[in-house]
Amino acid sequence: MSAPVVLVVEHEDGTGPAMVGERLTEAGLRLDLRRPWRGDPLPTGLDEHDALLVLGGSMGPYEDERAPWLPRVRELLRQAVARDLPTLGICLGMELLTAACGGKVGHAAHPEVGLVELTLLQEASADPLFANLSDRLHAVQWHWEETETLPEGAVPLVTSDRCTHQAYRLGGRVWGVQFHPEVLAPDIAQWGRADDTPVRELGLDPDEVLRTVEAAEPTLRADWGRLTERWARVVTSPTPQGP
């Protein structure tokens, strides 16, 4: 039997699947990585894929002129939700999921950059990805926009002090996460160089942000590697699975 195929949408250079991609490959999944920013075509449907992974990017979910492939991505996300196809939207991917399914995304009053503590909500205790994760969860954040209003039927799972909607689930097998489970220190080093000015405008030092992520890297690998492995099991299971 052939390996399940995950359609992976990358929006710009330096924002690949990173650790999440490594863990999915180790779990036996095959990644069909599409880079529309450099001309890769996106499919019109998902019949040839077993799952969908939509990554982050510096553009907003409504910036179709800057990233003309975004309408196609939103349509693929709507199809995935309609079919309850295993889906994970990360940062911009979550924002696109929100926009595609009738929610609202806006500019964050308090953008989050660097390592941030997360709080699991009650609904997370029965979620296939988030149940029984660490008591003190931290994740890397890098966003100036966020979900303001959830799509109808979304189950909120995770929050933080500055961002109400850090993760939610639609149906049984579609998730959006505002944080970055895929990135580690090398990614943050690159992002810090690219976003030096906007990060400093938030009163943060990119070098200190990097040092904080480096110190937390073992825990980040453990927690978000575990979540990724759980999502891989969802992809390979014919029906929704419990935690």
> Which of the following is catalytic: 10, 145, 146, 182?
182
> Which of the following is catalytic: 11, 91, 95, 145?
91
Residue 26 annotated in active site: no
Pick the closest to residue 174 from 16, 11, 54, 37 (CA basis). Answer: 54
Residue 180 annotated in active site: yes
Residue 11 annotated in active site: no
> Annotated catalytic sites, by residue?
91, 180, 182
